[in-house]
Chains A and B, each alone.
Chain A
Amino acid sequence: MRFKKIQTSTQLTKRIIITILTILLIASCALAFAGLTSIHKIDQAGFESSDVYLQVRKLKIEADTFYDDHIAQSLKACSSQEQADATATAKRLLEESWQDSEALNDYDEVSLWKLLAMTYSASPVKKITPAQRRSIKLVKDKDAMRAALLKALANHTAASDDPILKDIEALKNAPESMMALVFLSSWSSNASILDKTTSINFIRSAGSTEAAVVAYKAAMSGNISALAATIMAHSHTVTLISVLVAIDSLLLFIFMAAGKSWKMDFKWILILLIVDFLLIFQLLPLIYLLFKAFFPNGSFTFNTFTRLYTEKMNFTALSNTVIAATCTMILGTIIAFPLAWLIGRTNMYGKKFFRALFVLTYMVPPYVGAMAWLRLLNKNVGTINLIIRALFHLKITEGPFNIYSLPGMIWVLTTFYFPYAFITISRAMEKMDPSLEEASRASGASPFMTVMKITLPMMTPSLIAGALLVFVSAASCYGIPSIIGSPGNVHTVTTRIIEYYGLGVSGINDATGLAVFLIVIAVIVLYISDVVIAKRQYITVSGKSTSPVIVDLRSWRVPMTLFVSLFAIIAVAIPFSTILITSFKVDVGQTLWTTGNFTTKQWNALLRGETLSTIKNSLIFGTLAATIGIVIAITMSYLLQRTTIRGRKIPDFLITLGSGTPSVVIALGLIMTMRGQFGVNIYNTAYILIVAYLIKYLMMGQRTVVSAMSQIHVSLEECSQISGASWLKTMFKITGPLIFPSIAAGWFLIFIPSFYELSMTTLLYSTNTKTIGFQLYQYWTFTSQPQACAMAFGILMIIVILNVLLNYLTDGKFSI
């Protein structure tokens, strides 16, 4: 008996929900269609903005009142013949204004006067100057003046012929249009016919005279209802929301059908929210940009692309980018793997120290490192070059190394981006089942053979994942190519994009066209990594908590440590110390030891209130971005790893897309779509910054969490569910703690670049949302190099301190 009841109630719930969802789906599709039609209509009519019908309605209402209260009275004071004649004149004036004679034949007298009032009120051209206003003010009997004006208009007489009018300065030699203007504006104190704000708003929405005319006609014909006007006014928003609702209801249906449970589960809501977020902030700007690139004048054209990509300089830039990114990827991985192995699996000295050290280069903005290398390896007076010349008694004045070259750029890119690979590989290495390597040793293989035949092949998925991260990041980097590449005429796609933006509006489409290349690369890379890695993903987390076997390097211990130290010095210590030293200099050209060249002025400047407030801003924005990002990452990982819903890879795809897009393009896309056209206006707020950071940096955190979750067996979570815990509780109490180190690492991977982010911030910030990256940029471009260096080092210290602090507070659990 009891079972039956439950069945029927679930059946009922199921039917109710399906009905609701279907209704929502249909309704939203209808609305979306309505919205799209409105957009099309508005475009066709040439309107500036979509609220034109709302505005013209308002204008019309005022015109109605205006006519009833004022014009009607004045007209009554004339004879009917005069009325007709004056109206005829009004019609002619309208024709002049509208430059259209046909359409006015259908309107009656009342409508014509209303139209005239609206047209002149909203016309940006017809204005009464203050001087003229004064002369009109002097007239005592306004009614008489108006009657006289109407007469003049009716009889086509000049103002000078009329006793009342001839004294008015403004009407001296004035054409009839002026007389009409004076007539109409005679009732108001500030010489505007209808309400000034309404008029201004209307002309803004309509834009051109032609568009305004279309609007007037629509208003007079009266077939735009208030509802339609509202939908039209917000057509973009309506379309956006209805598309979202449609997608949401469809998704909800899919989720529930797949899970066969028709109750509202919190996790579906969360996933839907995230999908919506990604759709609005990630996809919409991108689609908008692409749309404008493919449809510059409303019709589809491949022209932009063919033109762009065949231009020699762009083509060279493309190949440079691909070459640079590939080499960086290979070099970075080749470096990262042995380092990760030596630090994670052997008994070399100072492992913890080196592990922390190699992560440091990730914690400063890329161009800071670029500046340091520039100082060291420029072919004229680079410090390292000078030393080498002295050491080997070379008589050259240039070189031997020239950093302004493709190899130079690759080198700096590698030193900056190899930590991505290093971190990914290290973490995977820690998780690998040590008995796999032990079995190899027991089979007679030396440690080296074991690495080559066992460790390396098994780590391939993580190697590839790390390598591809490096590739995508290096390809979309701007700071390093602009400082290292440009002076040597080595151009990349990112620098070319910035050069196109230098053209302003006409460059936007070209810039987008080039950006498409990078986006496509990111997509291909994602596809490759998914297909290749998925095939060979091995669940390698062992149940036991044995620590990996430490390979005893014996006689190699010291040499290996030296080798790692050497690399650490070259890649980390030298550039960082250059920055540090420069930060204390007064004159960059002198050495630190020259008298008077040492100063703490730059460091003192950092303690100013202004800097502290930017630090506060950066901390807040970075924390928000990282925290929201990690929540998204966890939810998306769950979707990817624990459900079998089709299309669950799509959010992941969108997220990777964001990282592959150059920062400037993201910022521009946001500017063009987030100022209210689609109902969302977060321009000049902190939110747009946080959104920008999320779009750009979410991928790093996402990949970390996904790979961690993939190594936890689902039975652990199923056990929690059986015990009665909800999805949320399971996430908090079981999964979360298990993958906490990865969550922490992912958090930092989002936090750090958001903290010092620069390119997007310069375009999106507002007076209250200045960040530390922006201040660094200011110092660098407008103050001095030493000041910028001090700031950069300060940023580094803040991040390191934060890391140490969190590490300490959570007993070593929360750190990169």
Chain B
Amino acid sequence: MSALASPLLVVVLLINLFLLGTSRVRAAITGAAAQGVLLGVLALVIDDALSGSHIAVAAGAIVLKGIAFPALLARAIRDLAVRREIEPLIGLVPSLLLGAIGTAASLLFASSLPLAPAHEGSLVVPGALATVFTGFMLLTTRRKAITQVVGYLVLENGLFIMGLGLLEAMPFLVEVGILLDLFVGIFVMGIIINHMRREFGSIDTERLTSLRE
């Protein structure tokens, strides 16, 4: 575990809070992109020995999470002329507060889990949990389909951090699985958003209410 990993994870956690607090869709996308790039760098410094799979995962994360998906989402809001403000179901300040509580809870919960010697005192596990929590919050409390996809992206970032803790030990297949599924998932969601715009003239998921009891 390199000395750089913990500061990087702290920045990731700060971006989580930024994502919960921002009121602009574009800022949220940029934040998620920055997080993706940081995760790529994190993959390079997380273990003392640098192997081929570290480099592959880092490159994959930077290209896909840092550049490709954010560019796709940014293009979608430009093409669809989405209103630039995020419309949260709960206010930004309460969601920031909840995010802070979630981060604290992740730290607490992670400290109750015994860590492998390599991860003693590191932020990998709490960072992963807090990021997953942030993604979940963005998914459930934001109205626009695009912001929900950003939430999904952040949630996957959390999984990625947890995966990094196991990168040395885990089969390559699963790492490829992360990127592959992420790619296909976002891709399919992008297509649906496009259909949604044509069908509803909006990508506000509040319109999706005709199916209920």
Co-complex (A, B) = no
Interface residues of B (CB under 8 A from A): none
